[in-house]
Amino acid sequence: MEIIPAIDIRGGRCVRLEQGDYDRETVFAEDPVEMARRWQDQGATRIHVVDLDGARDGTPRNADVVHRAIAAVSVPVQVGGGNRSIETVDAYLKAGADRVALGTAAVKDQTTLVNAVALFRERIFVGVDARDGMVATEGWTETSEMRALDLIQELSEFGVARIFYTDISRDGMLGGPNFPVIQEVVEHAAGLSSPMAVIASGGVSTVEHLQRLKMIGVEGVIIGKALYTGALDLREAILAVS
């Protein structure tokens, strides 16, 4: 199971939000590029970078910082936030991103989703962000009328190979993941005609959380606040699930 540090960028700085609330922001570093180097130095084999302004506004707002973060490290970087066109996806991949995440576009613009999967295959993955089991969009500021499990089935039918699942109520709270829901998501994704890998996100704060998620069968875990506050040490986390 891969441990994936998160770098969330807002206004050019490295921040964390609580439950996706833009009014509940904590700044952890002024330079996301230096943070990317720090996580690589501590053993990260992959880094998850999100343009929070882009997620909310629907178009990249911190692309220059993201590009510099990608260039600063040798490990794979996956990029999310505001990726709602083929041009945006292509630009990040050409800049060296290993994977590009679609979120809102996967719900509201299936043409872009289908075209992205056809063009870029497994370098596309999709963020399934849920609030009370319903899919959230627009940087988590809107809740749709689609169930997360229904979206996961649709994504499989469109050829998506990998998703990352976030329970918004747990994100940034350090209270632990929603294990029953994550298990349901993993089993659902594995049982589809075109099975998908699942990366978990939200609430992880202990080694025990990681070990339990490994038993559930997730491919990886994205960790943010727990690393920034020191609740988890990245090296210890990696060792615990190796």
| Other residues' Cβ atoms within 10 Å of the Cβ of residue 113 | 22
Q: 């649709």: which residue's tokens? A: 154
β-bridge partners, 14:
9, 29
Whether the per-residue pLDDT at 8 is higher than 60: the answer is yes
Say how far apart CA 225 and CA 187 lie, in whole Å. 27
Nearest to 22 by CA among 77, 48, 61: 61
pLDDT digits (tens, 9 = 90+) for 133-163: 888 876 556 777 789 999 999 999 999 999 9
Query: Once rounded to an integer, what is the mean pLDDT over residues 42-53?
Result: 97
pLDDT digits (tens, 9 = 90+) for 83-128: 999 999 999 999 999 999 998 888 889 999 999 999 999 999 999 9
> What region, left, alpha or beta, does residue 127 occupy, with left being phi > 0 and alpha being psi -120 to 50 degrees?
beta
Q: What are phi and psi of 143, to 5 degrees?
A: -115, 125
Options 3.20.20.70, 3.40.720.10, 1.10.275.10, 3.20.20.210; CATH for 2-240 is 3.20.20.70
Q: Give the per-residue pLDDT at 16.
A: 81
Q: Give the per-residue pLDDT at 198.
A: 98
Whether the per-residue pLDDT at 171 is higher than 60: the answer is no
Mean pLDDT of the chain: 92
State the pTM of this model.
0.92
Q: Give the per-residue pLDDT at 167.
A: 86
Say how far apart CA 58 and CA 208 lie, in whole Å. 36
Nearest to 55 by CA among 1, 10, 7, 115: 10
Q: Give the per-residue pLDDT at 140.
A: 59
β-bridge partners, 142:
137
Q: Which residue has the higher pLDDT, 28 or 80?
A: 80
| Other residues' Cβ atoms within 10 Å of the Cβ of residue 193 | 7
Q: 């990886």: which residue's tokens? A: 220
* Residue 105, both tokens: 């576009």
Instruction: Decide if 158 contacts 114 (C-beta within 8 A).
Output: yes
Confidence of residue 170 (pLDDT cuts 50, 70, 90): low
Say how far apart CA 193 and CA 190 lie, in whole Å. 8
Whether the per-residue pLDDT at 22 is higher than 90: the answer is no
| Other residues' Cβ atoms within 10 Å of the Cβ of residue 12 | 14
Which residues are known catalytic residues? 8, 129
Which residue ranges make up each domain of the chain? 2-240
Whether the per-residue pLDDT at 54 is higher than 70: the answer is yes
pLDDT-wise least confident of 31-40, 103-112, 205-214, 219-228: 103-112
